[in-house]
Structure 1
Amino acid sequence: MRVFVTGASGWIGSAAVRELQGAGHRVLGLARSDAAAAAVAALGAEVHRGGLDDLESLRAGADGSDGVVHLAYHHDFSQMAEAARMDLAAIAAIGGVLEGTDRPFVVASGVAGLAPGRVATERDEPDPAAHPRTASAAATLALAERGVRSSVVRFAPTVHGDGDHGFVARLVDIARAQGVSAYVGDGSNRWPAVHQRDAGVLVRLAVEQARAGSVLHAVAEEGVPARAISEAIGRGLGLPVVPVSAERAAEHFGWLGRFFAADCPASNALTRAELGWEPTHPGLLDDLGEGHYFRSATAA
């Protein structure tokens, strides 16, 4: 199968590209810059130049492929509405090409905020008012009625592994800068997590097997207590572990404060039953214990 992957040079995308190629598929990777093109080529994939705002390029990539994986997203918290609009337009463009072909179309989403305070399942539907990106997931699933084998993969907020520059790396940076590793309140709130390589496996399985209109959870661990994460960071950096109040979370953690204080556990039971996905790589705390997050200061 020839698979067109947007976000191919990114953190999850690079793992998906390797996994797809390891299973014998050919990958066409979208690249908007010279650096991204070099990264895609280094993975052994074919380079397709363009960006999320270049709808003709997206249509061309989809038209020449047997399936599409859409992982790219404009992650700018100051332009959330514009990022969501761009994403929705990209999905519509790709979906229009795939309509009536029964080709797979796998689109990324998230589990954070899906069911606050309880374990979210694949059957839970997001609140449209919670995040403008929810419209993209709804549009993807609606394509199932138009002859597209579309599926939505909701990723854990923490996709960890060696080379991660996301939320956990940012927590490490904050702890290093503050001189303490902190958690909010009593630290009992839970963060779901998945190893990058397990996430790549699920993307590949979705391309190969997911039913039209299915929702999948890229979650290996239902919810790791925030305090345990902070304790692992404290051990790794040799720093004291302390609580901060909810009122001081933004002061201590910056924009990450409200996310790290959230309780957003999520289940993977239906995903595992449907696709036979079995995460095999280290969990978040074990991954933190391996030491790669603490080698040097990183930028999120």
Structure 2
Amino acid sequence: MSVFTKVSHEALTTFLQQYPLGALIGFQGIGEGVENTNYFVDTEDGRFVLTLFERLDYDDLPFFLGLMAHCADRGVPCPRPLQGHDGHVLRELCGKPAALVQRLRGSSALTPNVAQCHSAGQSLAQLHAAAHSFSIKAVNTRGREWRADTAAQVRPHLDDAGIALLDAALAADSAVGWERLPCGVIHADLFRDNVLFSGEEVSGIIDFYYACNDALIFDLAVMVNDWCFEQDGRLNRARYQALTEAYCALREPTAGERAAWGAVLCAAALRFWLSRLFDWYFPRDGDLVHVKEPSPYERILRYHVDHHALSL
């Protein structure tokens, strides 16, 4: 989440007249993240999050907004998109597609404890179960083809060690056998800042705008890489055990998923190393744009490549 498009008080006031929400009290840009423009919005009737979609077009958005409503209806604590007076959830603001969603209670745990990791692993499995019956499909825009194309773009900026790591990770990605793994709707970006807690229980799962249909186990690998590694690239085994055991207790991985686990971890680390490298070398203009440092994911990827096979 970032602020690429500035919204005036007047424009937002006019926008909110399309909803039964009372008068605008205040709003504030959200600087974290890298893709869309986001604001916290307070009205007389509650607290909300406004998103202006900077890269996604109108045809993409029924999947994301419909998925959030579908999962919320099935008990997943995710933000429900708000309907306007006309019954629609998608509209336009400042020339961009826009939507307003509920602001959930709780806060992120940037240094989660073991109990929070357990709760997060359970929540991912519950999300996969709830989304299983969602009928709309979407491709993974950061899938294997994107990873190969982006690798070619950032390669000239890497030193010899970086190129060797990139080649090893691409080889692991190619060896996964993605078509043989169980697929479904995945969140694809369930980092610590996209999960809210009240105490040690998950109170919210947010930012569904990378969600897609892909290998379910890829979603777990994304979580492990963010939740279970320290800043210096060391694995926190207690967090790892808590998160993966909680997930596997609710959705048993197949033998194929277990066999591919090490390569899937590489692919998930590669995906975020590449996106951070691309944003680092080809930054976008905007106000409060948050560009994330690539090196943490380089360290995580190197951990996986350097024969540190993890069991699932």
Q: TM-score, normalised by structure 1?
A: 0.27
* Greater fraction strand: 1
